[in-house]
C-alpha cells in the first residue's frame, strides 16, 4: 500500500509543478499579443490548468477505469467552484468583473446541463465526443471573434515579470528614478522551456496518479468513481488553485474567475470530448442520482454573482467551502466508504 500512496503523492506533485509551468509559460507568451486577461484566463490558462484532467481521464479510460475518467471531470468542476473559488475568497473578496464573464458563465451553465442530458441518454461514446469537440471549436471561434471585435488595452497579468510589450522601452528605462534598470525580461527561450517541461511532465504525473489511485481503490474496495470524484479531482485541480491564489494576492480578479469558468467549460467540452473518442464512458448510477446534480448546483450558486458582477466575499467563500465539505461527507457517508473500509481492513 505504501508504494501506491507514494505514487499518488508524487504524481500530484508532478502535476502541480508541471501544470503551473505550463500556465506561466502560456500566459507570458500570450501577453505579448496584448490580449485581455479575462480572455487569456478563459482559454489558454483554462486549457493549461485542465491539462492534468485531460491526461488523467485519457489514461484512466485506456486503463479500463472509466469511473475515474468521468469522476475526475465532474469532481474537478465541483471542486473548481466550491473549493478553488472558496479558498481565495477567504483571503480577499473576488469581483466577478469583466464584460465577457456573463456570456461565458451562461456557456458554462449550458455545457453543464448538456453533460447531465448526455449522461441520462446513455454512455458517452464516439459520437458524443465528436459533438462535444464541435461545440468546443465553436466556443473557441466565438472567443477569438469577440476578442477581435472588442480589442483590449494590454495590461500586466499574473506573469513572472513585466513584459516589453507594455513598458520596457528605452524611454521607460530613462524615466526610472536614479537610473534604475527595469526587471529583466523573460526570453522566448525561457517561455518555451517552461511550456515544454510542463507538457512533457504532465503525462508522467497523470500515469502516477491513475496507477496509484486504481491500486488504492482496489485494495480498499472503494469504487474508482469515488476516488476520481474526490482525491484525484482535487489533485488535478491544484493548478487552478495555485493560479487562483496567486492571482488573488495580486488582485487580478479576472484571472481567478476566468480561470475557473474557462476550466469548467474545457473539462466538459475538451476533456470529456477527447476521452469519449478514445474509449466509451459508461455512466455509474451514482452520477445520475447525485454527483451530476451537485455539479449543476455548484454552477447555480456562482450564477447570480457572475451575471451581476458582484463580489464573492468571505461569507460566500465560507459557504462554498461548507458546501464542498458537505458534498464530500455525503459522498463517503452514503454507503460508499463504510463497506469499502471494512472490506479493505479485512484484507490485511
DSSP string, 153-184: -----S-SS--TTTS-SHHHHHHSGGGPPPPP
CA pair distance 137, 147, nearest whole angstrom: 15
Helix (H) or strand (E) holding 312: strand 311-312
Which residues touch 164 (CB under 8 Å, ≥6 apart)?
185
pLDDT of residue 335: 47
Q: What is the CATH number of the domain that holds 264?
A: 1.20.1420.30
* 169 within domain boundaries: no
pLDDT of residue 133: 95
* 103 within domain boundaries: yes
Mean pLDDT value across residues 18-34: 71
Binning pLDDT at 50, 70 and 90, where does residue 317 land? very high
* 163 within domain boundaries: no
Binning pLDDT at 50, 70 and 90, where does residue 294 land? very high
Grid cell locating 112: 453543464
CA pair distance 103, 183, nearest whole angstrom: 37
| Lowest mean pLDDT across 115-124, 160-169, 298-307 | 160-169
* 154 within domain boundaries: no
Binning pLDDT at 50, 70 and 90, where does residue 232 land? confident
Mean pLDDT value across residues 7-19: 81
Predicted structure pTM score? 0.74
pLDDT of residue 308: 87
Mean pLDDT value across residues 77-102: 86
pLDDT of residue 41: 65
The runs of H, that is alpha helices, within 43-178 are 46-62, 66-79, 86-91, 101-121, 126-149, 170-175
CA pair distance 38, 98, nearest whole angstrom: 7
pLDDT mean across residues, the chain: 77
Mean pLDDT value across residues 185-195: 75
Nearest to 30 by CA among 144, 199, 172, 109: 144
Which residues touch 94 (CB under 8 Å, ≥6 apart)?
85, 88, 248, 253, 256, 257, 311, 312
* 78 within domain boundaries: yes
Total domains present in the chain:
1
Helix (H) or strand (E) holding 94: strand 94-95
The proportion of the chain whose per-residue pLDDT surpasses 70, expressed as a percent, equals 77
CA pair distance 194, 231, nearest whole angstrom: 27
Could you read off the pLDDT of 132-142 as tens digits, one per residue? 999 999 998 88
| Lowest mean pLDDT across 23-37, 109-123, 267-281 | 23-37
Q: Is the pLDDT of residue 150 over 60?
A: yes
pLDDT of residue 171: 39
* 192 within domain boundaries: yes
Grid cell locating 251: 488582485
- Domain of residue 282, residue span: 2-146+188-346
Amino acid at each position: 500500500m505504501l508504494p501506491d500512496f507514494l505514487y499518488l503523492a508524487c504524481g500530484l506533485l508532478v502535476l502541480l509543478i508541471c501544470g503551473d509551468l505550463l500556465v506561466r509559460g502560456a500566459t507570458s507568451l500570450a501577453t505579448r499579443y496584448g490580449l485581455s486577461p479575462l480572455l487569456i484566463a478563459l482559454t489558454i490558462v483554462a486549457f493549461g490548468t485542465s491539462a492534468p484532467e485531460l491526461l488523467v481521464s485519457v489514461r484512466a479510460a485506456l486503463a479500463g477505469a472509466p469511473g475515474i475518467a468521468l469522476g475526475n471531470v465532474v469532481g474537478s468542476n465541483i471542486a473548481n467552484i466550491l473549493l478553488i473559488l472558496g479558498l481565495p475568497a477567504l483571503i480577499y473578496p473576488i469581483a466577478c468583473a469583466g464584460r465577457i464573464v456573463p456570456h461565458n458563465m451562461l456557456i458554462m451553465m449550458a455545457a453543464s446541463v448538456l453533460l447531465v442530458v448526455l449522461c441520462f441518454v446513455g454512455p458517452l461514446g464516439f459520437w458524443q465526443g465528436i459533438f462535444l469537440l464541435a461545440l468546443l471549436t465553436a466556443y473557441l471561434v466565438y472567443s477569438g471573434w469577440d476578442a477581435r471585435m472588442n480589442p483590449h488595452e494590454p495590461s500586466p497579468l499574473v506573469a513572472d515579470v513585466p513584459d516589453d510589450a507594455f513598458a520596457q522601452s528605452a524611454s521607460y528605462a530613462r524615466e526610472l528614478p536614479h537610473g534604475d534598470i527595469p526587471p529583466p525580461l523573460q526570453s522566448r527561450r525561457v517561455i518555451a522551456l517552461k511550456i515544454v517541461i510542463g507538457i512533457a511532465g504532465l503525462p508522467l504525473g497523470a500515469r502516477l496518479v491513475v496507477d496509484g489511485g486504481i491500486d488504492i481503490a482496489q485494495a480498499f474496495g472503494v469504487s474508482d468513481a469515488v476516488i476520481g470524484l474526490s482525491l484525484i479531482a482535487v489533485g488535478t485541480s491544484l493548478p487552478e488553485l495555485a493560479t487562483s491564489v496567486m492571482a488573488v494576492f495580486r488582485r487580478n480578479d479576472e484571472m481567478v474567475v476566468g480561470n475557473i469558468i474557462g476550466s469548467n467549460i474545457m473539462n466538459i467540452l475538451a476533456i470529456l470530448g477527447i476521452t469519449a473518442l478514445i474509449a466509451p464512458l459508461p455512466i455509474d448510477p451514482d452520477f445520475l442520482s447525485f454527483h451530476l446534480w451537485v455539479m449543476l448546483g455548484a454552477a447555480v450558486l456562482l450564477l447570480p454573482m457572475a451575471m451581476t458582477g458582484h463580489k464573492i466575499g468571505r461569507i460566500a467563500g465560507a459557504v462554498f467551502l461548507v458546501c464542498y465539505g458537505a458534498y464530500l461527507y455525503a459522498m463517503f457517508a452514503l454507503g460508499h466508504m463504510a463497506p469499502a473500509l471494512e472490506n479493505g481492513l479485512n484484507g490485511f
